[in-house]
Structure 1
Amino acid sequence: MFLSKVPPLSRLNLLLLICTGLFSACAVGPDFKQPDAPKAKSYTESPLSQKLTAAPGVPGGTPQEFTEGADIEAQWWTLYKSPELDALIKKALEQNPSLGAADAALRAAQENVSAQIGGQYFPAVSVGGAATRQLQPSAIYGLPYGSDTYNLYNTSVNVTYKLDVFGGARRAVEGARAQAEVAQFQLEGAYLSLTANVVTGAVKEAALRAQMQATEEILKAQINLADVTEKQLKIGTVNKVDLTSQQTLVASSQVDLFNYERNLAFARNQLALLVGELPSNANIAKFDLSNLHLPEKLPLSIPSSLVRQRPDVRAAEAQLKAQNAFVGVATANLLPQFNITGSIGSAALTSAALFGPNSALWSIGGGILQPLFQGGQLLAQRRGAIANYEQAAFQYQATVLNAFQEVANALRALETGAQALKAASDAERYAYETLDLVQQQYKLGTTSYLAVLYYQNQYQQAKVKSVAAQATRFSDTAALFAALGGGWWNREGPAFKPKDIANKDQNETSGTN
């Protein structure tokens, strides 16, 4: 009775107002609660040294100390003070295809949120019109004569709305938003992984180059000694075994040199991949350990903040939030479904009369649907949603544990790496001094060739180990920055910064559907 007194357009507006007012209903399913941060006061089982062991005079021997509670710079790699490294990372952030794919995945997830909001929260409104010419026998009206041929014109505005009484739509949107958060933190994780890999790749390239250079120097000394031994063989002061042993050592060092050349090529090819270039076109800079600066201050976040900084932990948390929302969606599907439909328009036998006083038509209707039996499908879907939530909870726990393990490993690696570099640099220096003395004694004929051979091997091993220890110090520092989250929260601008996006508007449309 009330609606019959309301004008047609006002009825449609009233319908939309009722639909909007129903948003205040409660949503079924559990509300998401952010997991508490682990209660830990430190990362390692035993206390860390505040200052790390220094090795003066060698690359990577800079004294380092931890600064507890300090924030991490967004561009932490600039602390290495290498313009070549900065340029390489900038290029990678513009061209790396994996980072670009993660960025596209985020944009797709964000558009899905908009689609869910539009489809779940708002009525579907459509407008239509038709013109038909038709023949109908009079018998369908109960009349005994002939048939009628006539034209029929009509136009209408239709509204369909599903009432979100139990919050299933809101949970669906909540789940879509959480999945967009997953994509966002996966992008941040790709950004962190890319920058860390470029740094460690550059360090590896520099280390291989240094080891290759050291091997070349050792090989040159071995060849010189082989020439001396060959001359001594001619005058009879040494035997043939001494010469062949030295020649064997020369050949062995040549094999090592070839291996370093191969691994160096592989390392440069890997850097080309990271910057999104073909190996033949990458034009990668040559890195030198002596030109890299080791950061002296190492920020150490408090343990409780780690779960808010690590992109993988945040992604796991967002996935947990999404699965929690989907439990609500599955629960709402078990309950009655309400919908309202409305239509307003006109119909006439001529186009001129289509909007005349006697052509108006309208309808308003409502419906309710309560699922009774679907073979257990809805109950099984809800049980599956709960199981998915439990799986996400366990995965979150595993991700947190892995995050703390990586930080603890990085801290211990830094501590022992500093000590190892000091010992390795001392060993290299002592081995070189010993070899130099023994070679002089050998040339004077006061020591045996076996002594020279032994100390040559000893120095070669010490030199290679020293270079490896230097590279480890740079890589372990990068590993700590990455394990603590990399400072992405301090970055200005997007993670992926392409120079140019081809066919940018290829998939864009001007519609609002």
Structure 2
Amino acid sequence: MKRPAYSLVAVAVAALLGGCSMIPTYERPAAPVEADFSAHGAAPAGSQPATADIGWRQFFGDERLQRLIALSLENNRDLRVAVLNIEAARAQYGVTRADQFPGVNANANGTRQRTPGDLSYSGRSTIGSQYQVNLGVTAFELDLFGRVRSLSQAALAQYLASEETRRSTQISLVAQLANAYLNERSSDELLALAQRTLKTRQDSYNLIKLRYDAGAASELELQQAESLVQSALSEQAIAERNRAQATNAIVLLIGQPLPADLPAPRPLSEQALLADVPVGLSSDLIERRPDIRSAEQQLRSANANIGAARAAFFPRISLTGAFGTASSQLSGLFDSGSLAWSFAPQISLPIFDGGRNRANLDLAEARKNIAVAQYEKTIQTAFREVADALDAKGTFDRQIQSQQTLVDASRRSLELSDMRYRNGVDSYLQLLDAQRALFTAEQSLLQARTQRLNNLVGLYKSLGGGWEENTVAAKAAPTSTVQ
């Protein structure tokens, strides 16, 4: 009557051992950065949605750019590889997780064998037959010390890391396409500027040529006018090349030729081209940036592998068994009395392995320390990207304002120089310098506007924006602090 009680105790002990885990308790490393970005001019986000929740359709106000982003998310090969990597990681996790369960196989086999007389007990040759049908379990490991579960958790963390890598790839793709598009728009406007400048200089050259033919201008003035025309032609060729290369970059990113029905682009000077982005705490950055989350999943995977390395020091128990029927005649397989079974437990206890298990544990711990360093470096890199973009944000506004004032002054200077030259007060050299100064100032203004927009795109990306298509409703401000 005591046997059921003993059985219950045995089951309880097995269940208790089955819950044993050698994985170290995971603790997120402290972030090696400041708690917020106030030192870089960032204001609290308030009730606005986090940047990571601002959809790219709301952030990018140019309909043409929105269409290109949608195409890239459908066709880009780098993003496709990231998605396939997720499928591979999911499959690998499934393979590892399956080791936690016994594999049951159905087997059927038959043998027919002749035994010579000198090997037979009767001294006569015999022919024997044996047929079997059974269900069997082969080398199923009782995971008493959590080795298999540790490996499964490590594979799960790798799978989750691949998910975050896919998010990071998409965010980078959106930012790359936006930068390529802004570069194309900048090249377009530089080309238009070069063409306007070429026309102005060509008109000036024609006037100087008439004056030279009439003996009212020197050959020096004619050659100076010619040099300006050739300089404008050179700038036009550079702008055409840059625009073609920027278009090629867009084609590569969207994975197909540019559609003919794209909406018309907006000018770079339009204020609604890009939206502003709120900046929160560095703890928000840690929670929302997919590359940081991927690095943390890699750290969790390395931590779980320590549990598997520790479990290797303990006995490993595996079970092999089969249940079915066996008979010397095929027709008797399912007759009464043909029941057959086998049960073969095996226990393996490491006694001496030349330090292999100790070395594997040291290796797992070293890889975890590497993962910690990589996680901290990822946080530091992300914090610097945000800080750099914030520091540049205000300076670009001041630079553009000053550059616009310079363009206005240079344009007025050109008008006065042209008037004085036509009235014979100044030489053509002063007019030449004024034309060069205006062209350089206009180029610098356009470049500053492009750099400001690229910087805003970089800030949007560095804060985790570009994953959502449409803006998610604002959430309550987090109360947690950086650990």
| Matched residue, 1:149 | 127
Contact 1:178 / 1:322 at 8 angstroms: preserved in 2? yes
The Cα of 1:37 is off from its aligned counterpart by 4.4
| Matched residue, 1:267 | 246
Contact 1:272 / 1:284 at 8 angstroms: preserved in 2? no
Q: Match of 2:84, as an amino acid?
A: A
For normalisation by structure 1, the TM-score amounts to 0.84
| Matched residue, 1:501 | none
* Superposition pairs of residues 409-424 of structure 1, within 5 angstroms: 409-424=388-403
The Cα of 1:377 is off from its aligned counterpart by 2.5
Separation in structure 2 between the aligned mates of residue 386 and residue 282 of structure 1, nearest angstrom: 56
* Superposition pairs of residues 81-96 of structure 1, within 5 angstroms: 81-96=61-76
The Cα of 1:42 is off from its aligned counterpart by 2.7
| Matched residue, 1:222 | 201
| Matched residue, 1:462 | 441
Separation in structure 1 between the aligned mates of residue 174 and residue 137 of structure 2, nearest angstrom: 51
| Matched residue, 1:471 | 450
Separation in structure 1 between the aligned mates of residue 471 and residue 404 of structure 2, nearest angstrom: 41
- Work out whether 1:484 is the aligned partner of 2:463: yes
Aligned CA distance change for structure 1 residues 41 and 296 (closer, same or farther; 3 Å): same
Contact 2:31 / 2:376 at 8 angstroms: preserved in 1? no
Contact 1:163 / 1:340 at 8 angstroms: preserved in 2? yes
| Matched residue, 1:109 | 89
Contact 2:59 / 2:276 at 8 angstroms: preserved in 1? no
Separation in structure 2 between the aligned mates of residue 358 and residue 491 of structure 1, nearest angstrom: 70
Separation in structure 2 between the aligned mates of residue 67 and residue 388 of structure 1, nearest angstrom: 40
Contact 1:98 / 1:190 at 8 angstroms: preserved in 2? yes
Aligned CA distance change for structure 1 residues 144 and 388 (closer, same or farther; 3 Å): same
- Work out whether 1:404 is the aligned partner of 2:383: yes
Separation in structure 2 between the aligned mates of residue 425 and residue 145 of structure 1, nearest angstrom: 113
What value does the CA root-mean-square deviation take over the aligned residues? 2.9
SS across alignment from 2:256: coil
Aligned CA distance change for structure 1 residues 148 and 491 (closer, same or farther; 3 Å): farther
Contact 2:321 / 2:344 at 8 angstroms: preserved in 1? yes
The Cα of 1:235 is off from its aligned counterpart by 3.0
SS across alignment from 2:340: strand
The Cα of 1:254 is off from its aligned counterpart by 0.9
- TM-superposition CA deviations, 1:369-422 (whole Å, max 9, x none): 012233332222221111111111111111100000000011111111111111
Aligned CA distance change for structure 1 residues 158 and 139 (closer, same or farther; 3 Å): farther
Structure 2 residue runs of 5 or longer lacking an equivalent are 473-483
SS across alignment from 2:331: coil
Alignment length (residue pairs): 465
Q: Match of 2:97, as an amino acid?
A: I
Structure 1 residue runs of 5 or longer lacking an equivalent are 6-10, 51-64, 494-513
Aligned CA distance change for structure 1 residues 18 and 162 (closer, same or farther; 3 Å): farther
The Cα of 1:233 is off from its aligned counterpart by 2.0
The Cα of 1:304 is off from its aligned counterpart by 1.4
SS across alignment from 1:277: coil
Contact 1:202 / 1:271 at 8 angstroms: preserved in 2? yes
Aligned CA distance change for structure 1 residues 486 and 24 (closer, same or farther; 3 Å): same
Aligned CA distance change for structure 1 residues 41 and 332 (closer, same or farther; 3 Å): closer
SS across alignment from 2:332: coil
Separation in structure 2 between the aligned mates of residue 135 and residue 343 of structure 1, nearest angstrom: 26
For normalisation by structure 2, the TM-score amounts to 0.89
Contact 2:58 / 2:471 at 8 angstroms: preserved in 1? no
Separation in structure 1 between the aligned mates of residue 392 and residue 373 of structure 2, nearest angstrom: 28
Separation in structure 2 between the aligned mates of residue 478 and residue 396 of structure 1, nearest angstrom: 24
- TM-superposition CA deviations, 1:277-319 (whole Å, max 9, x none): 258x898776442567244542112221101111111111111
Q: Match of 1:357, as an amino acid?
A: S
Q: Match of 1:339, as an amino acid?
A: S
| Matched residue, 1:27 | 21
> Which residue of 313, 326, 329 maps to 1:350?
329
* Superposition pairs of residues 158-169 of structure 1, within 5 angstroms: 158-160=136-138, 161-169=140-148
* Superposition pairs of residues 184-199 of structure 1, within 5 angstroms: 184-199=163-178
The Cα of 1:355 is off from its aligned counterpart by 1.4
